[in-house]
Amino acid sequence: MRHWTTESAAKIAAGILMGDSKLEVQGCIIDSRQAKGGEMFFALPGEKVDGHDYIESAWQKGAVLAVADQAHFQGEMAKPSVPEGKALLLVDSVYTALQVLAQSWRKELKAKVVGVTGSNGKTTTKDMIYSVLAQEFPVYCNKENHNNELGLPMTILNAPLGTEILILEMGMRGLGEIKALCEIAKPDIGVITNIGTTHMELLLTQERIAQAKWELIETLPKDGTAIINADDLYSAQKAKNDGHKILFYGLEGTFAEPDIKGSGLRSSGPLGTIFDVTFKQETLTADLPLPGTHNVLDALAALAVGTVCGVSLTKGCLGLRALEMSKMRLEMRQGCRETTLINDVYNANPVSMKASLNILKERAGQKKTLAILGDMYELGNSAESGHQDVGQAVALLGVNYLITVGKLATEIAQGARKAGYAAEQIMVTYSRKEAAEKALELLRSWESGTWVLIKGSRGMRMEEITALLER
């Protein structure tokens, strides 16, 4: 197997090639600034930015092939002059060409594909699977959470020659979306972390969310393997009627007997967790550099994938110890007045909010605690109850002070008050700047060493609060 040429890419995409047909191409970009040399640049049209305006910039920065919509250059719009040593591929749809080329590269790689989805923990689980499998194989996975109809095919096209296992996180907002991603990825192993209430806004019921997530398992080949959370009700229910090989993982085995089981969780350092893991009569101790029961469950899923792929439990545990996480997930930083900041701002829903609050209280010990919590999106009809549930958790856990950020998050404050949390322990704010100012004012009045959790949905950009508290 070798790299594609511009000519072979043109044949696969069924487009019209201009310029040099013998150039070697490897990888792809949709942002011209990311060119390093040899890539395909997909000139995707957008509402605010049109990739066709950056074709020449992509060539200048090192991309060798620009893929563009033929219709864009009709009428008065002249085709760009193709420089020497570059090529332009005109197609009916850049978006379709990206997916078709990804499908073809996935076949040529002949790599095993692990698909990962779920309402919570997809990216963390993907990172853990990568770390476990990297002990034995050349592996490649999505950067951060590039898990949609653009990010997934780009991940495949950027997988280098020699990749033996592709780990692909799959996101969705509605029915049919994971199925469409699977048509491109053709997964051999499917992992579902859990089936929660995220996406309720569009799918309306948890049963429909379960149906959408289960598209990953339904598209597996007959000899494929499903890795399922034995402590998740909807996952276990769906597994009962599925004909694939099922490998369960879990802690309690609430809804199914785990094939790979964790137990004996105990804290290790500021944010680490040690736990025992048992698989086929073998029990080992794993050292995970992350806190929380939910992260141990994700680690068990990763170890389960490892066993399916031939990675021993011993090497899998070594992989977990060497884990490197994607950014903005349970990052521990030092803030002003010797505060410990838990920067967990990549995304949020009621389940992950409550898990992070538990971590805040567990790891702070006798130190004071402050939770700065922002809006949670995509909860639909469950928005009010979901936010109030988080507020109730704040009260029940005994967090010392709560600052809410945003209109939806006012329901967190309401939930806390209903659960008996004192009004003087709550500050409601509507902007990141206001929240940070109130937090700084509060921290100055407390003794040093407070633990602070900052968390909210991605669109809230809560990391800006973290940055202000670091200063």
Annotated binding site for ATP: 118-124
Question: Cα 139–141–147 angle (5° rounding)?
Answer: 160
Strand stretches in 221-376, DSSP E = 225-229, 245-250, 260-268, 272-279, 282-288, 331-334, 340-343, 369-374
Tokens of 281: 């009569």
**How far is residue 187's CA from residue 181's CA, in Å, rounded to a whole number?**
10
Contact partners, residue 18, CB within 8 Å, separation at least 6: 79, 82, 87, 88, 89, 90
Binding region: 118-124
Tokens of 404: 């809410």
Is 267 strand, coil or helix?
A: strand
Reduced 3-state DSSP string for 165-196: EEEEECCCCCCCHHHHHHHHHCCCEEEECCCC
Q: How many CB atoms lie within 10 A of CB 423?
A: 8
Number of helical (H) and strand (E) elements in the chain, helices listed first: 17, 22
Our CA dihedral for 195, 196, 202, 203, rounded to 10 degrees, sits at 50
Tokens of 119: 């309402």
